[in-house]
Structure 1
Amino acid sequence: MSDRDTFNSTWPMIREELMSFVREYSLGDEVNTHILNMFEHSIPGGKMNRALFVIETVKILKGRALTESEYEEASVLGWCVEILQAFFLVADDVMDQSITRRGQPCWYRMPGIGLDAINDSFILENVIYALIKKHFAGKPYYVDLLEIFLKISFRTELGQLMDLTSTPKDMQLDLSRFTEERHTNIVVYKTAFYSFYLPVCIGILCAEVKLAKAGWDIVEKMCIEIGKFFQIQDDYLDCYGDPETIGKIGTDIEDAKCSWMVVKALQLCSPEDRKMLDACYGKKDSENVKKVKELYGKLDLSKVYHEYEDASHAELMEMMKGIEGFPVEVFMYLIKKIYHRTK
């Protein structure tokens, strides 16, 4: 059984615990059924990499295979990260008016859901803390767990705000706002902190390893750099990835996202090409999307991306050579999971 399958086999136990938090209030079958369907639709079914990062971090730090109770604790924290991801995605899909997620219609597009999905996202966020309380209230790092989840949630929400306000709703699209600095800030805050830094941090807490400030600084720096690498991959796959493989239909061009692809295009294009981008980027119709993608082809952004991917990977490998006070195997695991990924 693969690591992912082993982790997924714990879902029925987690689902039952989540539903027990709901049933505690005796609100009836209608509420229970709605929430169960929402949990099943929104939480399982992804790549589960964030959860596996938690478990592998604990395993590497302990230097051995985990006992059954240790694995259960690490897997609960892994599910907490996956539920946090579900909370962000359910809300994000509403804001972006996305169509599919993980190969199925977004939750808000399911029959009878619509904007009720916003309230469902709040429920997802709250059950994280119920799970943490149930399993870790007696642990010496309980408060640290609460603080890291709250801190990273806030940072991610700030990143989402930067993403949303890249194109203010009451203004005409201004591509001069799509700078490399803005894109980096969005990537770090919206993706890197919760996708890489959070799983490693809670893995460290779960393993009950004491780190000096220098060690925590190394963890943050490496996780942020890996997170940047990951999101630029995501931006590329939104344009060139197979929807059947990545599990969603890419809409960064239609949604006028401050994506790495358009940032690079703005850096490389001619004044004439820039006029076309200004006219076509952010338009919903397929003809304008096609013109933007044709420009990406003309600028050979696929080659630019693959050169970036190899250079970034080499840079990460070089950064690890000087690390002391924290096992580089944790970072190697993260990088191996995402290097040359196709989904």
Structure 2
Amino acid sequence: MYTVDELRAIIKEELDKKEYIQEPYSLFEPILYILEDGGKRLRPLLTLMAYNLYREDIEKVLKSAIGIEIFHNYTLLHDDVMDDAELRRGRPTVHKKWNSNVAILSGDAAAITAYQCIEHCEDKYLRRAIDFFNQVAMDVCRGQQYDMLFETRNDVSEEEYIKMIYLKTSVLLAGSLRHGALLADAPEHEYNALYEFGGYLGLAFQLQDDLLDSYGDQRLGKAIGGDILEGKKTYLMITAMSHADEATREMLRTAYRDPALSDAEKIGKVKSIYDRLDVPRLTEQQIQLRFERALSILDTLSVAPSRTQRMRDYAMSLMDRKN
């Protein structure tokens, strides 16, 4: 079996070939810009890891894995335009470096390029692979729409929020795992089990992101409280709203835009409410519940435990973070 570091190196080498770059260069340059930024490259790594549970000839799934990474970055291009985000991974976003028209059109080209890569698989898997990925792609769009709708609502429930982050974030992780296992000729119940594993892992990861934004380790360089200052409806905010009285809910709704408060005071005010309502502990419970469900699914696979252990170790490393 390949190690995680070996798989990362293989992904980087494949991306460095830049085979997806075509003419006119100006259409594809923004795609190159956002891909060379790196990030975790979590999705192609999970694709290769799932394939490698069953088979060693990972070159047969590599092009598809790259396609999934390109698709993920296409969603970031468009998300940044919709959010009018200034930075992505510490660098100017594409629509700030160029303009919104460039970001939209290059995003469209990235989506098409992604499909051209994803369909690089044996004919016997092609129809299912494309059908599965179409479902994932549509779910990501649904999740983004729910997220946008929630911006104007003050009554978003915990259940609705979990559904939104599942669609927006988890399904692409889940789909990456299913795609790799499918192309490795895994049994249907096992590639579906890996999809479920990815769904729970993605939820745990996103809920932890929500928690770390307010309670991360500042010594490691993470800016704390960004979600609070933006008035975002995170799991922490929604949980607090559901447990608070009306006067406290009004404070939660208005603190981030109170001109009389400094940024530090806004963050402190909201976090004091979170602490009083036991929100960090409640969030930790939800993270642990979903993470344990994810790990338990690995025990149902027919492959040797020595092979699933690498996936288990990698999942644990994803959750063992302070920022």
Matched, 1:123 2:115: no
Count of matched residue pairs: 312
RMSD value, Cα = 3.1
Cα deviation digits, residues 186-210 of structure 1 (max 9, x gap): 0211111112x11111111221233
Any conservation in 1 of the 2:181–2:191 contact (CA below 8 Å)?
A: no
Residue 7 (str. 1) matches residue 11 (str. 2): yes
TM-score between the two structures when normalised by the length of structure 1:
0.78
Hey, what's the Cα distance between the residues in 2 that align with 1:7 and 1:38? 19
TM-score (norm 2): 0.83
Task: Please show how residues 110-259 of structure 1 align to structure 2 within 5 Å.
Answer: 110=97, 112-133=98-119, 135-136=120-121, 139-168=123-152, 174-176=153-155, 178-195=156-173, 197-211=174-188, 214-241=189-216, 251-259=226-234
1:309 Cα deviation after fit: 3.5
Offset at 1:316?
3.9
Deviations 1:249-274 (A, max 9, x none): 97433544331111121133343321
Q: CA deviation at 1:311?
A: 4.4
In 1, Cα distance between equivalents of 2:226 and 2:202: 21
Whole-angstrom CA distance in 1 between matches of 2:249 and 2:9 = 47
Unpaired stretches in structure 2, ≥5 consecutive residues = none
Q: 1:84 deviation in Å?
A: 1.0
Counterpart code for 2:82 = M
| Counterpart for residue 261 of structure 1 | 236
Indicate the residue corresponding to 1:171 in structure 2: none
Distance 1:108 1:191 in 2: 22
Pick from 239, 245, 253 the counterpart of residue 278 of structure 1: 253
Q: How does 1:303-342 map to 2 (within 5 A)?
A: 303-318=281-296, 320-321=298-299, 323=300, 325=302, 329=308, 332=312, 335-342=315-322
Question: 1:114/1:318 Cα in 2 relative to 1: closer, same or farther (>3 Å)?
Answer: closer
The separation in 1 between residues aligned to 2:244 and 2:169, in whole angstroms, is 28
User: How far does residue 88 in structure 1 lie from its aligned partner after superposition?
Assistant: 0.8
* Cα offsets for 1:63-108 (capped at 9, x unmatched): xxx3xxx333322222111111101111111212223211212221
Q: CA deviation at 1:57?
A: 0.9
Match of 2:51 among 30, 53, 58: 58
Per-residue displacement from partner, 1:215-272 (whole Å, max 9, x unpaired)?
A: 4543333322222112111222333447997989974335443311111211333433
Tell me which amino acid in the other structure corresponds to 1:101.
R
